[in-house]
Structure 1
């Protein structure tokens, strides 16, 4: 029998002898991750597949703390910015890998109206409400509902947000399910049920550097593709104006792929000046879909790693870490600066509750909210 790479000889032997191949299995492990300042115990759940990809999730904030993936030579690296310890997530929050809710992104003036009633939210971004108003889902301990090994390893986390929490109407029962399969896809499913009409917009706020967290080149020399013909320009407070502006002929045109650094400092563009780089929502050509469709593709030529982001939602926020200023001491003692990582956040559009022309973020009793997104990892050939 001739020798075949990647275990081919063993496969041939098994087939020749008529034996069944064992099914590939992804695994789940649970471990203590420490305690919050109030004594609440936090767990870490690690999902791992046989291809060398692993995801570590903290029950604090339902946070994706690390995502380890091999490069084209099989060398593993953590591709997420973040912290090594629980205390830093609590004491120096910066949304690294967290589950964001009730409403991801900005709501103008920290208020919205629903069925003729006005709701006031916490203003934690100047006059606006950002990512749940300062004490959102990212700063809550979640409970583990279940874990499962198998072809896809998974963990289900749950949280109850009471009626009036951060100013939002309705008691909200929420689950986030992380699942990792053998093909390198980490699926994140957000589900929520409400007791009153409300608005919901949940996502994950992972900040990626496919070269590996802390790599000196940062993420801006990686190549990004976003299948969006238009984006939603913002005012000087980063609130959408309501316009859908064509990307053609601008530094916002990522349809055919472009190196992020090509436009991140183009001060000739007022939108880049407002965002201090990219901090904008792209209106995906696919729109709102039942099944996850492509929202973005990120490639790192140096390592060969590829990330595809898929979602059922109609938009994706592209953020280049513009507020990372070297004061955040991250993993391995690395000081994070602008461009050291990027976020690709699938979502309803920012400020949709105040923008009647945007796809509605309304959720009603008996009509649950669901958002499914996927981080799919691979390597360039």
Structure 2
């Protein structure tokens, strides 16, 4: 196991450090203390060739805006909150509105533009980095001081484990996710249209015209959202279903998972042989097929475009603060928030 730290640049005199985690089999994960951003995951294909399977900007300066939230930890609340407000304990809180009057992915700065405190660690069978941050009362409009810890751990089973923990001194909405875009072709040789996605989910959440859940919970049967037997993403993207068309021909939808830590999400690229298995204790996952990736950015040596990557954002259900029948996303004062998502990389020959 190996851990390498390298300063990439500085922001207002603060060093931006890249941590590269390497296991004994050659898998590597590189991440930054800026936004806990994952910039590279090197894993083998069926011929043993190691390539990067995530999207990353060519130039660090692009992360200072990071319109597609590439590789970052998202918080305090992942997803959208309608009208940028919510009521809690008899009080109305107004959040920073950063998308059509709504609150998206934690607001203007969120957790994705934070320089986190970071400490690497190395053990016999695992290596990792622990990031920490205090989100102060009133930040982006949220109540309470929240102490947050995010840990990335790589082991010799080719598993990347992301563990989130937090504690607040006031009740507050809280749910984190990671916004990495995966492309298993390796070094973005192709887009994701030939990837196959399989998921243990019987239900999804339809969206309104602002991409916010309507409150309905719908059975996937007979819809393009039925991934229980697996689907090629091209089939989904070419669908004429109104929900697929609504978000720019693809997914940007929350799914409710049937099971947890049970190979519930599987992404497969037949040509490279790479498989990604995602397991989590979160209630759901937002699947985003990169329909709104902005053009004109430099990513992985290419001009950015739609469908270059897919996000599998494990989290509480978006806009849960406005839907009492959704599982609550309120972190109670003094209660420990704890969530784990595991990403396992395999090869099929």
Which TM-score tier does this pair reach, normalised by the shorter chain?
A: over 0.9
Tell me which of 247, 251, 254 is aligned to 2:227: 254
What is the CA–CA distance in structure 1 between the aligned matches of 2:257 and 2:97, rounded to whole Å?
A: 28
SS at match of 2:321: helix
TM-score normalized with structure 2 length: 0.97
In the alignment, which of 262, 277, 296 is matched to residue 265 of structure 2? Answer: 296
Secondary structure at the aligned position of 2:246 is classed as: helix
Using the alignment, how far apart are the partners of 1:207 and 1:221 within structure 2? 15
**Retained in 1: the 8 A contact 2:264–2:278?**
yes
The count of residues paired between Structure 1 and Structure 2 equals 348
Report the equivalent of 2:316: 348
Deviating above 3 A after TM superposition, structure 1's stretches of 4 or more consecutive aligned residues are 292-295
Q: Which residue of 2 aligns with 1:138?
A: 112
Aligned to 2:280: 311
| 8 Å Cα contact 1:47/1:153 also seen in 2 | yes
Question: Which ranges of structure 1 fall in alignment gaps of 5 or more residues?
Answer: 1-25
Residue 213 of structure 1 and its aligned partner are, at CA, apart by: 3.4
Task: Establish whether residue 99 from structure 1 lines up as the match of residue 73 from structure 2.
Answer: yes
Are 1:364 and 2:332 matched, yes or no? yes
Say yes or no: does 1:70 pair with 2:38: no
Q: CA deviation at 1:92?
A: 4.1
Contact persistence 2:58–2:298 (CA under 8 A): no
Residues 70-107 of structure 1: per-residue CA shift (max 9 Å, x gap): 10111011000111332221144421110000000111
1:30-41 matches, cutoff 5 A: 30-36=5-11, 38-41=12-15
Aligned residue for 1:175, secondary structure, equals: strand
Residue 243 of structure 2: aligned partner: 271
- Alpha-carbon distance in structure 2 between the residues aligned to 1:353 and 1:329: 36
1:224 aligns to what?
Answer: 197
Give the Cα separation in 1 of the matches to 2:297 and 2:4: 29
- Cα displacement (A) at 1:113: 0.9
SS at match of 2:31: strand
> Which protein shows a greater Rg?
1
Change in CA separation of 1:131 and 1:293 when aligned onto 2, cut-off 3 Å: farther
Structure 2 segments unaligned to the other structure (5+ residues):
none
Tell me if the contact between 2:38 and 2:72 (Cα under 8 Å) persists in the aligned partners: yes
Deviation for aligned residue 1:326: 2.5
Matched, 1:243 2:216: yes
